[in-house]
Copies of this chain bind each other. A is one copy, B any other.
Amino acid sequence: MPLPRQVFIAVIGAGGVGRCFLKQLHYLASHLCRDSSAPTYLSLILLSTSKKCLRNPDYRSLHLDTWEQDLAASSTAPLSPEELAEYLAHAPNKVVLVDNTSNQALADAYPLFLHKGISIVTPNKKAFSSNYDLWKSIFSAASNGNGHGGGYVFHESSVGAGLPVICTLKELVETGDEVRKIEGVFSGTMSFLFNSFMPVGGGGGPFSAEVKKAKELGYTEPDPRDDLNGLDVARKLTILARIAGLEVESPTSFPVQSLIPKELEGCKSGDEFLERLGEFDGKMEELKKQAAAEGKVVRFVGSVDVAKKEVKVGLEKFDASHPIAALKGSDNIISFYTKRYGDNPLIIQGAGAGGEVTAMGVTADLIKVLRLLH
């Protein structure tokens, strides 16, 4: 009969994903403690944003139902990554750090946390898609599968949000399949944009108008250039390529097509950029016409050709009958072409962005860590 056990949780970030995660953590904690055969008590011991930090003396639990007011009332400044690692390392129970930010400095400190036996679950792409040295430091510090009882790292939501993309690719690799090519639409924003700009069967307005619409509907970053430059997709491809065995140096070490016209690279604000983007609608309209003449549609995709060691991100044309062309809304689609699966790839499709589904991937990773933390 295993003894009841307590696991400490530290959460950084309380934005769109962070809020949803805290709600899911509340649900999970109330379910796990009711498991009569082996209850687990999850205890939130720290909650921090970039401006404020909430923690009790002696690692006492915070309240998951009043965190918002409590955080608002707090006047404590956040800890630096080093201070945070030190603080968590001295906790009397095992600790899981949940990084719901896209902070590079925190990502850079992952090896430090892992070396101290602190586990990490996160949707933060920065840690896994920056320079290759950081990737190596993280995974040599991590003890995934080695039975240390701590220092695990999972990042399912860094690609395709809650869709089972990373775990599936890892299983293909670990069971000895030969992954030949990974291809897909990896950005909810780009998916929505091109499904609207050039739907199968015709229609769609000028490109700049579609970008404005996407922004108004909340499908883009506050500054849409952060989507249109292709870097978000390049980061996801970097992660998948590395898991597939390619030593990709960084997300800028392979061809990435930016949809920001050269002439607009100097724009001082997102608003100025959006105002002037219409000047280039003719170019996009031409692309659309060319594709239509071939019975195809244009989509913004990424691919990893493992054998050729080629990673690329940009616009491509697809037959109207291709699954990538038929995508709806802001859905992602990821196809794995492998030796075992042959000509028909293993395909995963669905919402690849949004607070709830991203948080779901983080929560599922947390459950995996809890199972490993005996």
Contact = CB atoms under 8 A, between A and B. Distances in A.
Interface of A: 2, 5, 24, 27-28, 31, 35, 37-38, 144-149, 162-164, 167-168, 171-172, 174-177, 321, 323, 326, 328-329, 331, 340-351, 354, 356-357, 360, 363-364, 367, 370-372, 374
Contacts of A329: 343-344
16 contacts: A2-B147, A5-B147, A27-B176, A145-B370, A147-B374, A162-B171, A164-B348, A175-B360, A175-B363, A175-B364, A321-B326, A326-B326, A340-B356, A347-B347, A347-B350, A374-B374
A67 B38 CA distance: 40
A371 B374 contact: no
Nearest to A175: B363
A207 to B, nearest CB: 23
Contacts of A349: 346-349
Q: Which of A37, A175, A326 has the most CB of B within 10 A?
A: A175
Nearest to A359: B175
Nearest to A152: B371
Given A174-B364, A328-B344, 18 more contacts: A24-B175, A31-B176, A35-B146, A37-B146, A163-B346, A164-B348, A174-B367, A175-B367, A176-B363, A326-B326, A329-B343, A340-B351, A340-B360, A344-B351, A345-B350, A346-B350, A347-B350, A372-B372
Contacts of A370: 145
